[in-house]
Amino acid sequence: MCIRDRSKSCLSVLVPMATVEDRPTVEAEVLEQFGCMPGLPAEWGEAGMLWGVLRGSRHCGMVVSESPEDAEPLLEAAVAKGVELIRVAGSMAEMSVEDIFDVQGPVAAAMRNAAERAPGEVWVVLTEGELEATDGLSKMEGFNTAMDHNKVLACTSSSGGDCEADAILVPLGDNTRLVFLFKACAHLSPASVSRLAIVANN
């Protein structure tokens, strides 16, 4: 990989994660380290930044913004590029851990629905709501196996059995992306952050 490609790769990861105020600092640091500033792909645009970062190695993303409504332009930009959205009803704050990871629950159902719509690209969209710190951590940690290379959500059956041996694995389709709409990253562990393509929309 040439220096220009390395610079572009860094920009593609770091700029979307930075706030608008911090982006010039990020760009200056990349320029200092690599000696060139190729810029982000032109087809991304500001509203298409989430769509752009999900073209890379990440199959799950997060938009960090003051409210879910602030993330709508990014979702609409993806729809304009042919992406279909499936919005999980309610918020993660309103659902218990058992609800979120129930094999018959809304998240698993949305993932199966999305996979059935292949080969079209589908984003399953989840909204944070008003999550408490410890509650948010436990709920997001459960998505780690879906966000990493395993691409499976470990679910349990509401009919009984809650140990790992009883886990029912719901695969994330090759055409499917999980997208979270959060207000901040405070509820995320380093393991979750490393698995997500994050766009700061503020």
Q: Centre a 10 Å sphere on the Cβ of residue 158 and count the other Cβ atoms it contains.
A: 13
* pLDDT tens, position by position, 31-40: 888 888 787 7
| Per-residue pLDDT at 162 | 46
8-62 pLDDT, tens digit per residue, is 888 887 888 888 888 889 889 988 888 887 877 777 776 788 888 888 778 999 9
Instruction: Check residue 136 and give its pLDDT.
Output: 82
Residue 56 CB coordination number (10 Å): 11
Q: What is the pLDDT of residue 160?
A: 54
Q: Are 192 and 144 in contact (CB under 8 A)?
A: yes
Handedness of CA 158, 162, 167, 173 (dihedral sign): positive
**Phi, psi (degrees; rounded to nearest 5) at 116:** -70, -15
| CB atoms inside a 10 Å sphere around CB 114 | 23
- Per-residue confidence (pLDDT) for residue 1, from 0 to 100: 54
Pairing of strands 152-155, 168-171: antiparallel
Tell me the three state secondary structure of residue 157: coil
Supply the mean pLDDT for the chain: 88
Q: Look at residue 10 in the predicted model and tell me its pLDDT.
A: 84
| Blockwise average pLDDT, block size 10, the chain, 202 residues | 78 82 88 84 76 85 92 94 96 94 96 97 95 84 94 83 67 97 88 92 76
Cα(150)–Cα(38) distance, integer angstroms: 33
Q: Please calculate the CA angle 55-58-63 and round it to the nearest 5 degrees.
A: 90
